[in-house]
Structure 1
């Protein structure tokens, strides 16, 4: 039996559930008899263990199962009878005061909110667009060349030249020994032998790089170095050390020529440079399209949050916070980080979780009200689009269609795109052109 629903807050509700103690005892005895059919104990054949011994061994567990089943069933029945959309899981606590011969429990829970979405035709959204020019293709080729750089001893003649005067310059790879001291005392991490880095990449502090410039192999130099106040090494942060460096090896960087061999290294079988540039352009356009879509989706989501009114269930925020914390832990572990004893308080993820839950409720309302569900045709088209960048597109299709969870991820993505298209079609949209570099450096997330 369940009492009438009590309203404790905007979303919080409470139901008291009670049932006769005899119902529990009857069900427990019934399950104990079933358990006794296969129970084992020393000195007894299977199924011949006395019921009292079975009760002593399994009674607590079975009683807990019976209570959970009865309370859960009674709560679900009460929620259905009262047409309640329960958000998350109820908090069920046994009542100390109950009628004689009865057990009673208070189930406190939240319900899903009403979502009021304002006038979308009055919403103003700034969308972005970007183009891929020949300059972007040239920049990409330069990056690809740098990724394939190889080094030669500076000053020694070779098939690519000698690299010029054998003194350390920006772009050279240097290998040094160094030792640092503060007030004449060496400090942990301030000494190394055979340490290699490329001048100009910013891996070392500016004073260190400046002191290395102009050195020849075998030369040494002593110089002061001031560590920043926010330096990661707390023992030396904000202090000035005296460093001595000795240049042991000097190499100059040779970038591959943009020729047929370079094109072949990028997968262009016949080495055609025009085809190489076209392939790079297509890949850049695909990347740009994805970034533009992500930026515009984020703009739509921001607009929906502003125009929609709703209370967000704390239960759902808590559950999503815990989910985000666990996802972060797993991600860091997969990256090789030892996070076994690192705390991941769910509270740290509450703000992000609140936004995710809020948007989920808004999107659900929009989809239901406007029939924006993902169609099988849209899902297939999205997967085929993903598959274009893979060597065997058929394997990509098989990968998604063989797993319902993976397919569900694509359906959710298409559903979001349907919402974005719907909102952009109603709202007041202005388009802003953004530079390629700005777009590619953005942190917009899908």
Structure 2
């Protein structure tokens, strides 16, 4: 194979490769010889089919397979021989007019990672802002939890059902006057306005009282899961056993026991632990931002534009999704459009920090063990439907970029912990409000270009995630494809900004079903 360098500018490299026809032919001949013993053909004993007949039968397909493998091997050989570290997947193009039997002319273009000297990790000074958990905060969490646990009490028999009320009903479903399988149930709870049953069902029960018997007519959705009911008109004979109204949950020993705990004191202890965990997360975020700001301030080297583009695209997609959810989407889009250059600078900062953290980790032997990686894969697989988990795990095992993206957050945390251990840390106790204000100030400072006097975005904290997220991907390989949205944790600090690089595209997750527990016919698909 002949190699000729055609571009060497900054981080850009390009090469012209020539793979001789004889080399490709030799590889095809070797492949034919390899598969010949497995070929079966009438008139020949197993394994005795002549090579020329194997070539005649399978030559075209074999040439295509071998040719692709030869190109891959040639590019891999180029990376090794020239000691190239590609920032992203190299672009490979086959010259026009290639035909079987001719030399293959390839052009390979790529951006390489810059040579980054591992920064001096001595002399790092950080302030750890801590918050003590108060009894008032625990009680507030207890009240919030109680508010989330709906309880119901029977209403007066004269009470007419309204939106938000819960009915206990029996029903019998019929098609053309004949009961259908799965259309009958007793003592089913239904909250009017919840959208739990098929369209039109709940609305016709508004005004019903305890003891009422009603016949209602509905049409099943065209995409209903039971094919025999999809798009069909049906009637339901409904008996209202009870009308119930929501009642305030009393915080007492019985409430704690209803949650599977032994006492109210045990519940308070668990809630205190959750609040402590949340505050510890905020403390880590603030200290991590200080660390990254110090690293960013001391380094300003060129980064591969393709990596910046990929990171910016990830930020931009998130911003567009948030803008679409605003009360005035057009105005929100106009605002972020005016700050597009600011977000590109944020993307560049993240990539640069990613390269720095990666270099620090490699220089100091920081690694993600095979056991840790296996646990990551298992945890990530649980977010998908059972039938899709195997596909996801296969993707991670066969796709180097997918594996790197899954590994990146843990690798970054391990490098950050290494730097925390090396740093000189002083503690200062503050209030929650002071801690959150410090995080906001650090976020605005790191996200704001030096020449500007204002932060890129003027939005509530929860809407500023891209601007605030100064954390970088330690593997320094942003995703080429946007991952499906993941389910958010039940309790997450509003201002938390730990970086979570997106995984490569994986099987779609199962959407939560809106069905009553009994899974009866009137439930939505």
Q: Same fold (TM over 0.5)?
A: yes
Aligned to 2:256: 263
Within 5 Å, which residues of 2 pair with 1:50-69? 50-69=50-69
Moved more, 104-113 or 14-23: 14-23
CA distance in structure 2 between the partners assigned to 1:303 and 1:361 by the alignment: 15
CA distance in structure 2 between the partners assigned to 1:423 and 1:312 by the alignment: 27
Q: Is contact 1:125–1:430 with CA below 8 Å preserved after alignment?
A: no
CA distance in structure 1 between the partners assigned to 2:126 and 2:160 by the alignment: 55
Q: 1:137 to 1:354 in 2, by over 3 A?
A: same
Q: Is contact 1:20–1:103 with CA below 8 Å preserved after alignment?
A: yes
User: Of 338, 344, 365, which aligns to 2:359?
Assistant: 365
Q: 1:101 to 1:267 in 2, by over 3 A?
A: closer
1:155-184 deviations in Å (ceiling 9; x for gaps): 689xxxxxxxx8999xx94589xxxxxxxx
* Higher strand fraction (1 or 2): 1
Deviation for aligned residue 1:250: 7.9
CA distance in structure 2 between the partners assigned to 1:39 and 1:319 by the alignment: 46
Q: 1:350 to 1:175 in 2, by over 3 A?
A: farther
Secondary structure in 2 aligned to 1:268?
A: coil
Aligned to 2:494: 442
Moved more, 115-124 or 104-113: 115-124
Deviation for aligned residue 1:364: 0.9
Aligned to 2:92: 92
Secondary structure in 2 aligned to 1:283?
A: helix
Q: Is contact 1:38–1:46 with CA below 8 Å preserved after alignment?
A: yes
Q: 1:34 to 1:275 in 2, by over 3 A?
A: closer
CA distance in structure 2 between the partners assigned to 1:102 and 1:368 by the alignment: 41
| TM-score normalised according to structure 1 size | 0.55
Within 5 Å, which residues of 2 pair with 1:181-330? 195-196=192-193, 252-269=245-262, 271=263, 273-301=264-292, 304-316=295-307
Q: Which runs of 5+ in 2 are unaligned?
A: 168-189, 195-206, 210-241, 319-342, 380-395, 398-402, 438-491, 499-525
Aligned to 2:446: none
Q: 1:430 to 1:372 in 2, by over 3 A?
A: farther
Q: Is contact 1:92–1:108 with CA below 8 Å preserved after alignment?
A: yes
Deviation for aligned residue 1:13: 0.8
Within 5 Å, which residues of 2 pair with 1:74-153? 74-95=74-95, 102-115=103-116, 128-153=129-154
| TM-score normalised according to structure 2 size | 0.48
Deviation for aligned residue 1:2: 3.6
Secondary structure in 1 aligned to 2:90?
A: strand
Root-mean-square deviation (Å): 5.3
CA distance in structure 1 between the partners assigned to 2:287 and 2:131 by the alignment: 12
Aligned to 1:35: 35
Aligned residues, how many? 324
CA distance in structure 1 between the partners assigned to 2:345 and 2:243 by the alignment: 50
CA distance in structure 2 between the partners assigned to 1:305 and 1:262 by the alignment: 50
CA distance in structure 1 between the partners assigned to 2:315 and 2:150 by the alignment: 40
CA distance in structure 2 between the partners assigned to 1:372 and 1:430 by the alignment: 32
1:173-203 deviations in Å (ceiling 9; x for gaps): 4589xxxxxxxxxxxxxxxx98447xxxxxx
CA distance in structure 1 between the partners assigned to 2:143 and 2:434 by the alignment: 16
Deviation for aligned residue 1:133: 0.8
Q: 1:101 to 1:429 in 2, by over 3 A?
A: farther
Q: 1:288 to 1:436 in 2, by over 3 A?
A: farther
Deviation for aligned residue 1:300: 3.5
Q: Which runs of 5+ in 1 are unaligned?
A: 158-165, 177-192, 198-215, 219-248, 328-348, 387-402
Deviation for aligned residue 1:252: 4.6
Q: 1:251 to 1:295 in 2, by over 3 A?
A: farther
Aligned to 1:418: 417
Deviation for aligned residue 1:356: 5.5
Within 5 Å, which residues of 2 pair with 1:402-417? 412=411, 414-417=413-416
1:250-282 deviations in Å (ceiling 9; x for gaps): 85543333322223234432x2x4343233212
Q: 1:352 to 1:251 in 2, by over 3 A?
A: farther
CA distance in structure 1 between the partners assigned to 2:64 and 2:346 by the alignment: 36
Secondary structure in 2 aligned to 1:263?
A: helix
CA distance in structure 2 between the partners assigned to 1:70 and 1:124 by the alignment: 52
